[in-house]
Chains A and B, each alone.
Chain A
Amino acid sequence: MKLPLNWLKDYIDPKLKTEELAHRLVMAGWEVEAVETVGEEVVLELEITPNRSDCLNVLGLAREISAITGKRVQYPKVKSYKPTADKISISIEDKKDCSRYIGTLIKNVTVADSPGNLQVRVNSLGLRPISNAVDVTNFVLMEIGQPLHVFDYDKLTGGKIIVRRAKQGEKIITIDGIERVLDPTVLVIADEVKPVAIAGIMGGKDTEVTLSTKNVLLESAHFDMALIRRSSRKLGLRSDSSYRFERNVDWQGVLAGADRATDLLLNLTGGQLAARTDAAFVTKTPVKPIQIIPEQIETLLGLKVSLAQVKRILTSLDFKVSVKADKLTVNPPSFRSDIKETVDLIEEVARTIGFDHLPTSLPQIKAKNLTVDDHPRRVKKTLRQALMACGVDEVVTVSMTNAKDLNKCLQKDLKQVRVLNPLTVDQELMRPSLLSVFMPVVIGNFNRGQKNLRVFEIAKTYSPQGEKTTLGLLLTGSRYQDWRLSRKEQMEYSDIKGVLENCFCALGVDVSFEKQGQMSLDESDGSILTVKGEAIGCAGKLNKAILSNWDIKHQDVYFAEIDLEKVFALPAKSVHYKPLAEFPAVIRDVSLAVKKEIPYGAIEKLCRSKGGSILVDVQFIEQYLGDKIQPGYKGLVFSCLYQSNTKTLREEEVHKAHQSIIQAITGEFGAILR
């Protein structure tokens, strides 16, 4: 909202420097976004909150400035015009849509340029002066906030005004020259045959006032705020009028606006008042008086105020206040439709005193009724710490993705939640997995030459079943190596597995990695993570097809995704102390050759089942895949740890247990000792 200070001075002179006035306005809730100088004019650009449509005009702000400064407002002197015996034909189809329509017919006008002082006012709003008739409507709109329209009366077929819903497919060319196709959700002003204006939003080209117009019909009306808002959005058409109507226009201001404009039109166009008709329906129940006692203010603000002080503040804002004993009965003015109950009055008092003058205290925060399950938050925190300790950086990616990226990740079959009104097609879907939002991060960094990435995110993924907290982890490029080692090695499956093992170790959760095909993952390098037999996620090398879809050529990418809702459901880590071993352990290394396809895990599992109670651990040492072994075989080295918590083990006991392990693995897997 533009507030030209010269114009303001027609009604009130705050006698303040611009900077001080701006500061006082800000501290009373009128945010000054800019101070502009247009020629001779200083114009404040104000942000008016949607509850205060009464201040979308210069007089409204003059009233506020009066309350802040104590200076009085000089209202312009306006004649009042009564409805005439000669009627204008106004019919209103639904009084809910239009609760008041004042038509004023002025005949024998001379449409010409406005006088200089009116042009100055119009210019100060950043508008172009058009003609005396049109400029008057813009001037009155900005002076008192009542939107107005003037029709060329002779172009209204039948001389009639009909306020009705548009018919399906009905068309109108608005004064901006654009043809608009209407439907029954839109309210129009029509004559006998056609719409002549989109009610409350914009007039029609056919009936606009031109230099040749002889007779003018002035419209001052009140339209339903929600209806205007919906129509304006639907048509994608906003105007100074619609902006005010959708924020609500003062029902009583309809007459004030008609009178002020009639006055000016008669003066400036030399026309004569031919007819005035006021089609009014009082649909609103009169506002009930609001009661307030100063103690209520103290209770809510912590500030002691006197009865007299409250009365003075509210009166300065044009509220009618009567005092009985310790109670005030308050009638807000008709233009303050935002004032409905006692708290609204308390806000007026607080605002006028200034929030900076209100006291400050520290609240008493008592024991809460609310007990929160903090487990999920602790899990997330633990995971974050573990991941960072593993050298993984946290990312925050957008929650939306799109069909193209899902396709590139081979994830188009995942169940999707669609955004009905996305800004761009790039954000048409809620991400069902973190993969399709991680890949752009990878590409973005690759493009900047950053090829070694270790990233994770803990955030939501979405499906028609709802949203769930998910951990995504992605590793690519060379493993971190310190300078003592010369060779850079690419990360591989064991790197992502190691990070995940650390995570679950920190959570105290026993997780197994099982081989299973997963669409996005490479067949040989992919695994499903399970806890107590239930799948909670997957980890592995991304499928070659995905890499080629994203144009990644020279390096592998490892990705893991864990459903944290399933992890949250697991019991929290609880550790029971195990007594430290008192007796020495015996270690026996095993070095063997087995067929390449036999997984080490199966051998370890067999060892554990055959080692008896004294086998306390099996530790992997190394794998040999070179050519110094028979073809099709690999070398494995691991150690078996034997220990008892009741005695020192004898050689024979260890030997016996170890032999049964060796027999089992040579027998079952055809392993050859090396």
Chain B
Amino acid sequence: MDFSQLQQQAKQEAQDITDTKSREEYRLKYLGKKGIVAEIFASLSSAALHEKAAIGKAANDLRTLVNHLIEEKSKKTASTSIKPEQVDISLPGTSSVLGHQHILTQTIDEIVSVFEKLGFVTVETPEIETEFHNFTGLNIPLDHPSRDSFDTFYLDQQDRSAQGRRLLLRSHTSPGQVRIMKEHKPPLAVIVPGRVYRPDAVDASHSFMFHQLEGFLVDEKVKFSDLKGLLTEFCRRFFGKDVKMRFRPHFFPFTEPSAEVDISAGTLGLARKKWLEILGCGMIHPNVFKAVSYPSGKYTGFAFGMGIERMAMLKHGIKDIRLFYENDVRFLKQF
């Protein structure tokens, strides 16, 4: 093989490099996997022993030369003749798409995280409940008008713990209180998020299925002022530190005193001069402690419950509750 001729040829052909494409073709011809240099090396195995050193050197020299020529040419192209490929940086980035978490579970996560940071433990309790957990244990007697606000779906399933009674779909997350207190002694600081069901006709603000979050704190010497303080702290963290809120008396069978909490519409950037109800709360009624067999007078505690949909609607300006369950991807992808 005439190596000096090969070198001449390499120099000659290097003159023809005009752009990145021809430069790459040139590189492949000499230095590619099946290029000339590789061929020379491959021929080594069949070469006579005394020729091997010379052939090897020649191949290396050729490689060095070609690399040098390419480098020279590249410098030139950078400065003068050849334009490098332009990247259009305004084209969209390429990556796999990210999915979107539903705004309801995001809201639950957000609220749960506030309370967990304040020391609460999250427990999930069943949706299919007994009358005892949903009503009686919460001081809501049968055939009492206080049941009106807790209209309930009943199931074709028997309650094995109560003769002749049927299981139901919980109408609030408060049965979590009874379940957990039945099994555990105070101190307890627990939140219970989950789905609840009420036979409400569906419209922009009602749904027969929605989500709630129940919270309760039971210990010796828990006070109403603690409830006010905790919920004030929650509202500041969830709605922002300038939130304006008020506690007003209300009635729930399972708390005494009971209150509802409103926040000012102005706080949410709404122009209307109005208070918006966000949650119900109160000091746990002694009858609830009695139902879970806590010693009389030993513990006090508070409980609160809020609607997740309502919180999400207020925070994100969603006007129709049905949007949550329609799952239009245009809605899902906004959050």
Residues of A within 8 A of B185 (CB): 369
Residues of A within 8 A of B54 (CB): none
Contact A360 B101 (CB under 8 A): no
Contact A455 B327 (CB under 8 A): yes
Q: What would be 18 A-B contacts, judged by CB atoms less than 8 Å apart?
A: A50-B149, A229-B143, A230-B143, A302-B225, A346-B256, A347-B257, A350-B257, A360-B232, A361-B223, A363-B223, A370-B180, A388-B99, A394-B99, A397-B325, A399-B209, A423-B208, A455-B327, A483-B92
Residues of A within 8 A of B224 (CB): 300-303, 350, 358
Contact A350 B325 (CB under 8 A): no
Residues of A within 8 A of B238 (CB): none
Contact A421 B153 (CB under 8 A): yes
Contact A384 B155 (CB under 8 A): no
Which of the 9-residue segments A23-31, A203-211, A631-639, A650-658 touches chain B?
A23-31
Return A572 CB to nearest CB of chain B, in Å. Answer: 17
Residues of B within 8 A of A453 (CB): 329
Residues of A within 8 A of B184 (CB): 369-370
A453 to B178, CA, bound (A): 41
Contact A361 B229 (CB under 8 A): yes
Contact B217 A365 (CB under 8 A): yes
Contact B155 A419 (CB under 8 A): yes
Q: Total A-B pairs in contact (CB under 8 Å)?
A: 255
Contact B155 A420 (CB under 8 A): yes
User: Is residue A20 within 8 Å, beta carbon to beta carbon, of the partner chain?
Assistant: no
A311 to B299, CA, bound (A): 26
A356 to B261, CA, bound (A): 11
Residues of A within 8 A of B246 (CB): 27, 355-356
B residues with a Cβ closer than 8 A to A are: 91-92, 94-102, 104-105, 118-124, 126-128, 142-146, 148-149, 153-157, 166, 169, 180, 184-190, 195, 197, 199-202, 208-209, 217, 219, 221-230, 232-233, 246-251, 253, 256-259, 283, 285-286, 300, 324-330, 332-333
Residues of A within 8 A of B201 (CB): 423
Contact A450 B330 (CB under 8 A): yes
Residue of B nearest to A418 (CB): B156
Return A368 CB to nearest CB of chain B, in Å. Answer: 6
Of the candidates A362, A398, A420, the one whose C-beta lies within 8 Å of that of B226 is A362
User: Is residue A351 within 8 Å, beta carbon to beta carbon, of the partner chain?
Assistant: yes
Q: Bits for A330-374, please: 1 = Cβ < 8 Å to B, else 0.
A: 000000000001011011001100011011111111111110101
Residues of A within 8 A of B285 (CB): 343
The 5 closest A-B pairs by CB, nearest first: A29-B249, A302-B225, A49-B251, A365-B119, A363-B226
Residues of B within 8 A of A450 (CB): 328-330
Residues of B within 8 A of A420 (CB): 153-156, 166
Contact A393 B104 (CB under 8 A): no
Given known A52-B251, A301-B225, A460-B195, contact A396–B102 (CB-CB < 8 A): yes
Given known A361-B226, A388-B101, A467-B126, contact A51–B195 (CB-CB < 8 A): no
Residues of B within 8 A of A27 (CB): 246, 248-249
Known: A343-B283, A369-B188. 13 other contacts (CB 8 A): A27-B246, A225-B144, A377-B124, A384-B105, A387-B99, A391-B98, A394-B105, A394-B332, A399-B127, A399-B169, A417-B157, A420-B153, A456-B99
Q: Bits for A28-63, please: 1 = Cβ < 8 Å to B, else 0.
A: 110100000000000000000111100000000000
Given known A350-B249, A396-B105, A397-B327, contact A419–B257 (CB-CB < 8 A): no
Contact B123 A372 (CB under 8 A): yes
Which of the 9-residue segments A6-14, A441-449, A574-582, A665-673 touches chain B?
A441-449
Q: Bits for A292-304, please: 1 = Cβ < 8 Å to B, else 0.
A: 0000000111110
Of the candidates A377, A460, A466, the one whose C-beta lies within 8 Å of that of B122 is A377
User: Is residue A390 within 8 Å, beta carbon to beta carbon, of the partner chain?
Assistant: yes
A335 to B287, CA, bound (A): 22
Of the candidates A359, A419, A466, the one whose C-beta lies within 8 Å of that of B154 is A419
User: Is residue A198 within 8 Å, beta carbon to beta carbon, of the partner chain?
Assistant: no
Return A212 CB to nearest CB of chain B, in Å. Answer: 38
User: Is residue A464 within 8 Å, beta carbon to beta carbon, of the partner chain?
Assistant: yes
Return B172 CB to nearest CB of chain A, in Å. Answer: 15
A37 to B270, CA, bound (A): 26
A456 to B100, CA, bound (A): 10
Given known A361-B223, A365-B119, contact A393–B153 (CB-CB < 8 A): no
Q: How many residues of A contact B (CB 8 A)?
A: 89
Return B243 CB to nearest CB of chain A, in Å. Answer: 14
Contact B223 A388 (CB under 8 A): no
A225 to B143, CA, bound (A): 8
A152 to B155, CA, bound (A): 47
Of the candidates B124, B153, B195, B256, the one whose C-beta lies within 8 Å of that of A347 is B256
Residues of B within 8 A of A398 (CB): 208-209, 325
Residues of B within 8 A of A222 (CB): none
A393 to B148, CA, bound (A): 37
A388 to B106, CA, bound (A): 13
A417 to B155, CA, bound (A): 7
Interface positions, chain A 254-305, Cβ under 8 Å from B, are: 299-303
Of the candidates A346, A394, A399, A454, the one whose C-beta lies within 8 Å of that of B101 is A394
Of the candidates A229, A369, A370, A389, the one whose C-beta lies within 8 Å of that of B99 is A389
Contact B249 A347 (CB under 8 A): yes
Residues of A within 8 A of B232 (CB): 360
Given known A226-B143, A246-B145, contact A360–B99 (CB-CB < 8 A): no
Residue of B nearest to A229 (CB): B143
Of the candidates B92, B189, B225, the one whose C-beta lies within 8 Å of that of A359 is B225
User: Is residue A482 within 8 Å, beta carbon to beta carbon, of the partner chain?
Assistant: yes
Residues of A within 8 A of B144 (CB): 50, 225-226, 229
Interface positions, chain A 411-446, Cβ under 8 Å from B, are: 417-423, 427, 430, 441, 444-445
User: Is residue A223 within 8 Å, beta carbon to beta carbon, of the partner chain?
Assistant: no
A356, A366, A396, A482: residue with the most chain B Cβ atoms closer than 10 Å: A396
Of the candidates A51, A391, A462, the one whose C-beta lies within 8 Å of that of B128 is A462
Residues of A within 8 A of B186 (CB): 369
User: Is residue A247 within 8 Å, beta carbon to beta carbon, of the partner chain?
Assistant: yes
Of the candidates A367, A384, A396, the one whose C-beta lies within 8 Å of that of B104 is A396
Contact A370 B229 (CB under 8 A): no
Contact B257 A351 (CB under 8 A): yes
Residue of A nearest to B128 (CB): A467
Contact A50 B229 (CB under 8 A): no
